[in-house]
Structure 1
Amino acid sequence: MTHAPAIHAYDAQPLQDRVVLVTGGAQGIGRGIAQAVLGAGGRVLVGDLDREAGRACLAEWNVGARAAFASLDVSREASVQRWVQTALTRFGRIDGLVNNAGIADPHRAPLASLPLADWNRYLATNLTGTFLCSKHALPALAEAGGAIVNIASTRALQSEPDTEAYAASKGGMLAFTHALAVSAGPAVRVNAILPGWIATDAWQKPAERHAPKLGRKDHAQHPAGRVGTPRDIGAMAVYLLSAQSAFVTGQPFVIDGGMTVKMRYA
């Protein structure tokens, strides 16, 4: 006869002492994720092109050695290699990687007039950047039994006109997610978050920070009753990076306040 399953307490600090790397982590959703990691007890290395924003994070967080910043261009392999090595030199291990860096503006020219350079820029930053960071962090992640979280978008599932390059890059991130989950498992789990409408105005560097200009109609479009914030994405990232999601891999998680399930009629 087996014993009855025990009641297990939930860990109030699910990332205690774990080291998490966040690309594009100095502003917007990336900053929200980095702060969530710190709030969950973890340590974080933020990588970003904006040095001013990175320095502002460290000054405002005031968490000492638990947080660090290093310049990062995810589209350049040498930059990614230096950044990953910075994490290992500073912290000695890597338990989590959040591939968040990317071009946020989905709108470009109609496909017939879209320059090849624009198409390549979206893929190089959003998709190739995810590949490069995962490639170089993977050995340390495997040693630690870690996790990768890729920040895709609900635009991988639905679109507006003239967003082909952005949608293709984010859709590619979903395919990359389930492929790497199979290849890297069971040592490393890999999942994706698909944010919807997230208001990031208050999560920018000090010189560009302001309250979101949102009206009642903006919030009412969401079955949850409001537009999202980076804190909403951070909460899911903490779950996916922690042992609480130990049986979860290769999955896309839509965090959009219910917009993608709401029927709309013209």
Structure 2
Amino acid sequence: MAEGYKDKIVLITGGAQGIGLGMVKTFAREGATVIIVDCDQEAGAEALEKLTQEKLKVQFELCDVSLENQIVDLFKTVGKTHKKLYVLVNNAGTGFQKPVPLEELLASDFDRVLAVNLRGPLLCTKYALPLLEKSNAPAVLNITSTRAFMSEPDTFSYSASKGGLEALTHSLAISLAEKRIRVNAIAPGWIETGPWEKASKRYEPKHSKADKEQHPVGRVGMPEDIAEAALFLCSENAGFITGQSLIIDGGMTVKMIYK
């Protein structure tokens, strides 16, 4: 399905663990040179060592995407090394693990989540532009969430940031159309990342029958499910697709539940 990644440069934020790491490995196995960007030095070093042992072409850059100066430095470094960029995946995210009642929500915590999940992708795209423009048929992919469309209690920051990223996706798609840069999104549902975490956080997943039956496909998602779709959306095979969001959740958001 995915063609044309050999020797092309792909940059993935939040790429050292979880869904991000799954995408890094998948793009690299297709022949891409993948730049892993993450604010976790430990996770980045682990990912780099493991993937290098597999003889995949990867490099690691430390960066907190909530900080504009670090993003500027990141793309200066990338520009000196690679000159151009074929794919930018804005995957770095934070905030879902800390539900907080509205009465206890701190403005500073809300701002931190939006800085990573929403402002970060905007600024990464901004500073990646000169490199993307030098590639043939470049693409930007934003990783949002089904939380942009549905919620559990007390997930204000995460839901708002991912909803904003959905809107930013179509805004960027229209704004960058003249530059021939396509921009799309993937909205994952329940994706099990336990085996894809760094060693100090890794765990073996245990899903109950009820967990699986929430999904019409009969299982919880895996990073590979997102990675395979990312390969397609960022390839020239998807050249007529821009400004769109693909929900990948095993059918969970379309299943009506009355009990």
TM-score where L is the length of structure 1:
0.92
Indicate the residue corresponding to 2:60 in structure 1.
Answer: 69
Give, in angstroms, the shift of residue 107 of structure 1. Answer: 4.0
Q: In structure 2, what is the Cα distance between the partners aligned to 1:128 and 1:151?
A: 13
- In 1, are the aligned partners of 2:90 and 2:124 still within 8 Å (CA)? yes
- In 1, are the aligned partners of 2:193 and 2:222 still within 8 Å (CA)? yes
Indicate the residue corresponding to 2:218 in structure 1.
Answer: 225
Instruction: State the secondary structure of the residue aligned to 1:227.
Output: coil
One-letter code of the match for 1:37? F
Instruction: State the secondary structure of the residue aligned to 2:200.
Output: helix
Indicate the residue corresponding to 1:96 in structure 2.
Answer: 87
Instruction: State the secondary structure of the residue aligned to 1:143.
Output: coil
Q: In structure 2, what is the Cα distance between the partners aligned to 1:73 and 1:237?
A: 23
Indicate the residue corresponding to 1:7 in structure 2.
Answer: none
Give the fraction of aligned pairs with identical amino acids, expressed as a percent.
45
- In 2, are the aligned partners of 1:108 and 1:114 still within 8 Å (CA)? no
The one-character-per-residue Cα deviations of 1:116-143 (angstroms, maximum 9, x if unpaired) are: 1111111111001111101100121122
Q: In structure 2, what is the Cα distance between the partners aligned to 1:61 and 1:39?
A: 10
Per the alignment, do residues 139 and 207 of structure 1 end up closer, same or farther by CA in structure 2, a change over 3 Å counting? same
Indicate the residue corresponding to 1:245 in structure 2.
Answer: 238
Per the alignment, do residues 228 and 14 of structure 1 end up closer, same or farther by CA in structure 2, a change over 3 Å counting? farther
Instruction: After superposing the two structures, state which structure 1 stretch, 44-53 or 206-215, moved more.
Output: 206-215
Tell me how many residue pairs correspond in the alignment. Answer: 256
One-letter code of the match for 1:227? V
- The reply to whether residue 42 of structure 1 matches residue 35 of structure 2 is no
Q: Which structure 2 residues correspond to residues 87-126 of structure 1 after superposition, within 5 A?
A: 87-105=78-96, 107-126=98-117
Q: Give 5+ residue unaligned stretches, structure 2.
A: none
Give, in angstroms, the shift of residue 106 of structure 1. Answer: 5.1
One-letter code of the match for 2:141? V
Give, in angstroms, the shift of residue 109 of structure 1. Answer: 2.0
Instruction: State the secondary structure of the residue aligned to 1:208.
Output: coil
- In 1, are the aligned partners of 2:95 and 2:113 still within 8 Å (CA)? no
Give, in angstroms, the shift of residue 217 of structure 1. Answer: 1.7
Q: Alpha carbon RMSD of aligned pairs, Å?
A: 1.5
Indicate the residue corresponding to 1:55 in structure 2.
Answer: 45
TM-score where L is the length of structure 2:
0.94
- In 2, are the aligned partners of 1:106 and 1:167 still within 8 Å (CA)? no
Compare CA radii of gyration and give the structure with the larger one: 1
Instruction: State the secondary structure of the residue aligned to 2:23.
Output: helix
Instruction: State the secondary structure of the residue aligned to 2:10.
Output: strand
Q: Which 4+ residue blocks in structure 1 deviate beyond 6 angstroms?
A: none
Q: Give 5+ residue unaligned stretches, structure 1.
A: 1-9
